[in-house]
A and B are shown apart, each in its own frame.
Chain A
Amino acid sequence: MAAASTTGASSSSALSNSLTLDPAIRTWVLVPISLAMFLIGVIRHHASRLLATGPRKVELKAVRESQAVMRASRLRMNHAWISREASFRMRRAFFNDKKEGVLQQKVKNNNPQAQMMSDPSMMQDMMMKNMSMIIPQSLTFMWVSFFFSGFVMAKAPFPLTQKFRVMLQRGIDISGSLDVTYVSSLSWYFMNMFGMRGLFTLTLGEGNAIDDTALMQQQMEQAGAGMDKANAFVMERENLELIEARDGMVYEKAEERAAKVLKRALRAR
């Protein structure tokens, strides 16, 4: 375990291309760091699941409003599949009717910032999420930099330019004579941190706690959905009004399509 990290470091730079590393470094540094980082990721995922509070309480009215927008947009997308006269007009009246239409109702716009202020559980939730992110990460960083600082422990199997020296040989002082492709323990930590995301999506499933980008996106979407309902109501209303003039139903061309399909089936035989 007490292996000298670089046996060939004191020799001339000509030798630095073929550095001999102690196999103990592989068994006790390279593999453990990667393994530990993976396992910590798994623990973090499950811990954040435990810490997560259940779905946030939302007002009934707010849910109704956002569902109405969703239903209206679904009608807009798939309107061609239902009968124009009866089905579509009736559904549109349900949304757009001057007096009783769902999308004609007044909506109260509440912006997410004010919501956050009034609801402390939301703040707490976000705090928890951030904490479960930062604490294990900084702990791992401390662990690596405390026990393994100064180890040359990996070598990139491809050539790199001198620019990468700062990135890959963090924490080694013999730089200059050492080939750039050699990687220090601290840099290996960073490489693992970025490269393991794919592994985590495989093992923990999509949208796991490790995947920060997905989390951010989700939060953005949530905020966006709650943001401007009055505007969304007006938009959907207008979109529904526009539909009729523009295009007809799919089934108006049903015979043509049936003929086409049957012809193809005949030809195939």
Chain B
Amino acid sequence: MAPPAKALFSRNSNGSDTDDKEFLIPEHMQNNARVVHWIRQYVSIVAGCVAGVLGLTNVVGFLVYPLFQLLAILIILSKTNSNVDKYFMSTANAAFGGFFDGAMTYLLFWTFVYDIAHLF
């Protein structure tokens, strides 16, 4: 599996100055959104597996998910050279969009791996 963030493209904005005219490339923006979604789901699955294997329960288990999402944000930050604005329409969306979609995935994998490893 290739490192997903390799596919990040810069949106050809005119430098980083705050001019209100920007040249948007919809394909690149779509691609960026897709990559972020990919990272988020991937991180959710990994987080679920980690929490399950460690046998975490209750509140500790619920803390693992935001922690890993923070990791995802850090990945995005490092891949965009802390210049998130250049790659996404809204920074908040890039950081927190799909948080609850990922939570469903996390819950499933947490339960699944926990049961396999610790229940029986």
Which residues on A are within 8 Å of B, measured CB to CB? 21-23, 25-26, 30-31, 34, 77-78, 80-81, 153-159, 183, 191-192, 194-199, 201-202, 206, 250, 253, 257, 260-261
Contacts and interface: CB of A to CB of B under 8 A. Distances in A.
B17 interface: yes
B102 A198 contact: yes
Interface string B35-62: 0011001101100000110011110011
A81 B23 contact: yes
A37 to B, nearest CB: 11
B116 A30 contact: yes
Nearest to B115: A154
Contacts of B102: 198
Contact of A26 (B15, B52, B56, B116): B116
Given A21-B120, A23-B120, A31-B116, A158 B108 contact: no
Given A23-B120, A198-B44, A201-B41, A157 B114 contact: yes
Nearest to A74: B26
B27 interface: no
A34 B108 CA distance: 10
Contacts of A183: 111
Interface of B: 14-15, 17, 19, 21, 23-24, 34, 37-38, 41-42, 44-45, 51-52, 55-58, 61-62, 101-102, 104-105, 107-112, 114-116, 119-120
B111 A196 contact: no
A194 to B, nearest CB: 6
B111 A21 contact: no
Given A195-B104, A196-B108, A250 B57 contact: no
28 contacts: A21-B120, A30-B112, A154-B112, A154-B119, A155-B114, A155-B115, A155-B119, A157-B51, A157-B56, A157-B57, A157-B58, A157-B61, A157-B111, A159-B58, A191-B108, A196-B108, A197-B101, A197-B104, A198-B41, A198-B102, A198-B104, A202-B41, A202-B42, A206-B34, A250-B14, A257-B14, A257-B19, A261-B15
A194 B104 contact: yes
A196 B106 CA distance: 10
A1 B19 CA distance: 69
A77 B24 CA distance: 9
A257 to B, nearest CB: 7
Given A197-B105, A198-B45, 11 more contacts: A26-B116, A34-B112, A77-B24, A154-B111, A154-B112, A157-B58, A194-B108, A198-B44, A250-B14, A260-B17, A261-B17
B44 A26 contact: no
Given A157-B56, A198-B45, A191 B116 contact: no
Contacts of A195: 104-105, 107-109
Contacts of B55: 157
Nearest to B16: A264
B42 to A, nearest CB: 6
Contacts of A191: 107-108, 111
Contacts of B14: 250, 257
Nearest to A22: B120
B120 A158 contact: no
A257 B21 CA distance: 12
